[in-house]
Chains A and B, each alone.
Chain A
Amino acid sequence: MSGLSLNAITKTFGDFNAVDDVSLTVPHGTFVCLLGPSGCGKTTLLRMVAGLEEPTAGSVVLDGADITAVPTHKRNLGMVFQSLALFPHLSVGDNISYALRIRGASKAEQAKRVEELLALIDLPGFAARPVAKLSGGQRQRVAIARALALSPKLFLLDEPLSALDAKLREAMQVELRQLQQRLGITTIVVTHDQREAMTMADLVVVMGKGKILQAARPIDIYRKPADAFVADFIGMTNLLPAEIDKAGRTVVLDAAIPELAMPSGMSKASVSIRPEDVHLTAPGNGVLDGTVSFVRDLGGTIETFIDIGGTAIIAVATPRERPNVEVGQEVGIELPAECCVVVKS
């Protein structure tokens, strides 16, 4: 099979399971984002793919071959490190051509490849610069070019954009995705930034406490989160307690939403509803009534915080559908059943 598969991988440090029985199949050419809070095991998993850590159990299979025991330097992969790890004693060109040079490629061959790659990352003529003289974004690109020098089978990136400021980071996310699509290379990026994952990935893998919580397309992760943790971690959401009342209807807070079916065998759960799906209306017209406690007008969106008997619900609207409410005002809330997702709490 072409692509990467991780089979039942576990990594233990002392008595701590950094990665706990993780299995994942990545078809060739897929852009994967490993997403999760710090300490969830995503970097350890990536390092095991690279061979920088040895799995305690399980196997890494690339294009049908088990590479678990293959040392890093024989794996033919490109990796970008969080610190970028540009060699400080080498110029930009020498950094990029490092992999070719240690394989004994000719000077002309090296120079040609450096030129190609510098064109690819849009830094032509930078070969002779010392890396210390580059800006943050330029260093980023050089690190990417260096990792791609040998057209590797696997492209791994560990929090590659974390050192950049917000604007540049967003631009680089788009560039990185476009570059990956052009090259068609299997890519795994570790990130804790869900926006970054949503921007770039074909497949988002949400991790927590060493396990994969959900692996799916970005929009599916957003629309159909597997559990409360995923729902909360990906984007903004309202997590509301839900239970089945005596009549067998699903009740969220105090509102009965009969159309919403609880999974069989579950009497208590949480309901996740995205803020943009919460609509405001006149008091009494919705399923719930509450008091506006805060309004945050961000220009592009307006966030309204509504207090319902101690539970806060956030509603987000575009300026076009501006709710025009004030703090302290009574409002009604609509929770469309088709937008509610029942998750384990």
Chain B
Amino acid sequence: MTARLLRRIYFALVGLFLAAPLIVVAGVSINEKQTLAFPPKGFSLSWYAQIFTDPEWRLALIHSLTLAVCSAAIAVAIALPLAWFLWRRIAPWANIFQVLGLAPFVLPPVITALGFLSFWATLGLFGQFYTAIISHGIFFVTLPLVTLSLGFASIDRALVEAASTMGADDRTVLKTIVLPLILPYLVSGYAFAFVLSLNEYIVAYMTIGFTSETLPIKIFNSLRYGYTPTMAAVSVFFVVVAAVVFGAIARFGDIRKLLGALGTQES
């Protein structure tokens, strides 16, 4: 009985630690006046409206969404054929590309960011918006690569064999069996990359920081000129987006499996 109570308290403390700054930010974001009072004084959603009405914030929002949508697509476009190839073929040397796909995520982000900065600067393309899209696409390849590798590993190879005994060639198998089965993993890989790209600061900053602002860059730049409730509103917006996306993944897929709760059934 006491054990259960202790567990409850422990969970509550960890939960409080994780939630506390977000609660404060959420509270601050509904202040009526432009002050960062907590508990909030008055109630207003105008700071949320400002994300969409203020031209600067709106532009940053559009930049962030464009960046996240496109770079997640690039990440998936790189990860899908790679993961498929590694699953379909025996080619141990090709694992080097998997390592390359995982590396940007394991190394401290500053390093990858600086690599991109020196690369684009050398090419004379520094500051072009698409450089950030490509950079994020590479930076976040890890996420779809991991989910897709997991997805492929969970496909019973007998399914593919069964399809081929029924007359399906490689391409037909891919279209009618493999892609439908891999789709949930593809979607979650895209979603992970999307959310993280939306939140990413340093790579975006080192590629396009001087020419355009994404939301995280805009927040950081604004910090220097004092805190505003709009920044809090944007933060809440980010938390909500992340919670909705991951909640959806949990709802339509098995998030525990994605995070490694169940062993993969490799044949």
Q: Interface residues, chain A, CB within 8 Å of chain B?
A: 50-52, 71-79, 81-83, 85, 87-89, 98-99, 101-103, 146-147, 149-150, 156
Q: Is there contact, CB below 8 Å, between A85 and B167? A: no
Q: Is there contact, CB below 8 Å, between A72 and B164? A: yes
Q: Is there contact, CB below 8 Å, between A81 and B161? A: yes
B258 at the A interface (CB under 8 A): no
Q: Is there contact, CB below 8 Å, between B165 and A147? A: yes
For B170, the closest partner residue in chain A by CB is: A73
Q: Interface residues, chain B, CB within 8 Å of chain A?
A: 156, 158-159, 161-169, 172, 176-177, 180-181
| A73 with B169, Cβ < 8 A, contacts A85-B156, A88-B181 known | yes
- Kindly name the residue among B162, B166, B180 whose own CB sees the greatest number of chain A CB atoms within 10 A: B166
Known: A73-B164, A76-B167. 7 other contacts (CB 8 A): A51-B164, A71-B169, A73-B166, A78-B165, A101-B176, A147-B165, A150-B166
Q: Which residues of A are found within 8 Å of B180, using beta-carbon distances?
A: 89
Q: Which residues of A are found within 8 Å of B156, using beta-carbon distances?
A: 83, 85
For B157, the closest partner residue in chain A by CB is: A85
Q: Which residues of A are found within 8 Å of B172, using beta-carbon distances?
A: 73, 102
From B158, B167, B169, B176, give the contact of A81 (CB < 8 A). B158
21 A-B contacts, Cβ less than 8 Å apart? A50-B165, A71-B169, A72-B164, A73-B164, A73-B169, A73-B172, A78-B165, A79-B162, A79-B165, A81-B162, A82-B158, A85-B159, A89-B181, A98-B176, A102-B166, A102-B167, A102-B168, A102-B172, A147-B165, A147-B166, A150-B167
Measured in the bound complex, the distance between the Cα atoms of B180 and A71 in whole Å is: 24
Q: Which residues of A are found within 8 Å of B168, using beta-carbon distances?
A: 73, 98, 102
Q: Which residues of B are found within 8 Å of A73, using beta-carbon distances?
A: 164-169, 172
For A83, the closest partner residue in chain B by CB is: B158
From A52, A88, A89, give the contact of B161 (CB < 8 A). A52
The 8 closest A-B pairs by CB, nearest first: A99-B166, A85-B162, A85-B158, A79-B165, A72-B164, A81-B158, A73-B164, A89-B180
Measured in the bound complex, the distance between the Cα atoms of B162 and A77 in whole Å is: 10
Measured in the bound complex, the distance between the Cα atoms of B181 and A11 in whole Å is: 32
Q: Is there contact, CB below 8 Å, between A99 and B161? A: no
From B158, B162, B167, give the contact of A74 (CB < 8 A). B167
Measured in the bound complex, the distance between the Cα atoms of B165 and A309 in whole Å is: 56
Measured in the bound complex, the distance between the Cα atoms of B159 and A76 in whole Å is: 17
For A156, the closest partner residue in chain B by CB is: B165
Q: Which residues of A are found within 8 Å of B162, using beta-carbon distances?
A: 79, 81, 85, 87, 146
Measured in the bound complex, the distance between the Cα atoms of B166 and A156 in whole Å is: 12
For A154, the closest partner residue in chain B by CB is: B165
Q: Is there contact, CB below 8 Å, between B158 and A72? A: no
Measured in the bound complex, the distance between the Cα atoms of B176 and A73 in whole Å is: 14
For A52, the closest partner residue in chain B by CB is: B161
Q: Which residues of B are found within 8 Å of A51, using beta-carbon distances?
A: 164
Measured in the bound complex, the distance between the Cα atoms of B49 and A89 in whole Å is: 43
Measured in the bound complex, the distance between the Cα atoms of B177 and A98 in whole Å is: 10
Q: Which residues of A are found within 8 Å of B164, using beta-carbon distances?
A: 51-52, 71-73
Q: Which residues of B are found within 8 Å of A82, using beta-carbon distances?
A: 158
Q: Is there contact, CB below 8 Å, between A87 and B159? A: yes
Measured in the bound complex, the distance between the Cα atoms of B176 and A74 in whole Å is: 17
Measured in the bound complex, the distance between the Cα atoms of B162 and A72 in whole Å is: 10
- A7 nearest CB across to chain B (Å): 22
- B130 nearest CB across to chain A (Å): 36
For B177, the closest partner residue in chain A by CB is: A87
- A128 nearest CB across to chain B (Å): 18
Measured in the bound complex, the distance between the Cα atoms of B267 and A52 in whole Å is: 14
Q: Which residues of B are found within 8 Å of A102, using beta-carbon distances?
A: 166-168, 172, 176
Q: Which residues of A are found within 8 Å of B165, using beta-carbon distances?
A: 50, 52, 72-73, 75, 77-79, 147, 156
Measured in the bound complex, the distance between the Cα atoms of B168 and A263 in whole Å is: 54
Q: Which residues of B are found within 8 Å of A52, using beta-carbon distances?
A: 161, 164-165
Q: Which residues of A are found within 8 Å of B161, using beta-carbon distances?
A: 50, 52, 72, 79, 81, 85
For A76, the closest partner residue in chain B by CB is: B167
Measured in the bound complex, the distance between the Cα atoms of B158 and A87 in whole Å is: 10
Measured in the bound complex, the distance between the Cα atoms of B191 and A44 in whole Å is: 42
- Kindly name the residue among B176, B180, B181 whose own CB sees the greatest number of chain A CB atoms within 10 A: B176
Measured in the bound complex, the distance between the Cα atoms of B162 and A85 in whole Å is: 7
Q: Which residues of A are found within 8 Å of B176, using beta-carbon distances?
A: 98, 101-102
Measured in the bound complex, the distance between the Cα atoms of B163 and A51 in whole Å is: 13
- A105 nearest CB across to chain B (Å): 11
Measured in the bound complex, the distance between the Cα atoms of B165 and A78 in whole Å is: 6
Q: Which residues of A are found within 8 Å of B166, using beta-carbon distances?
A: 73, 78, 98-99, 102, 146-147, 149-150
- Kindly name the residue among B162, B169, B181 whose own CB sees the greatest number of chain A CB atoms within 10 A: B162
Measured in the bound complex, the distance between the Cα atoms of B63 and A140 in whole Å is: 54
- B20 nearest CB across to chain A (Å): 43
Q: Which residues of A are found within 8 Å of B181, using beta-carbon distances?
A: 88-89
- A143 nearest CB across to chain B (Å): 8
Q: Which residues of A are found within 8 Å of B159, using beta-carbon distances?
A: 85, 87
Measured in the bound complex, the distance between the Cα atoms of B17 and A70 in whole Å is: 63
- B256 nearest CB across to chain A (Å): 18
Measured in the bound complex, the distance between the Cα atoms of B162 and A50 in whole Å is: 10
- A73 nearest CB across to chain B (Å): 5
- B170 nearest CB across to chain A (Å): 8
Q: Which residues of B are found within 8 Å of A83, using beta-carbon distances?
A: 156, 158
Measured in the bound complex, the distance between the Cα atoms of B159 and A79 in whole Å is: 11
Q: Which residues of B are found within 8 Å of A75, using beta-carbon distances?
A: 165
- A298 nearest CB across to chain B (Å): 37
For B179, the closest partner residue in chain A by CB is: A89
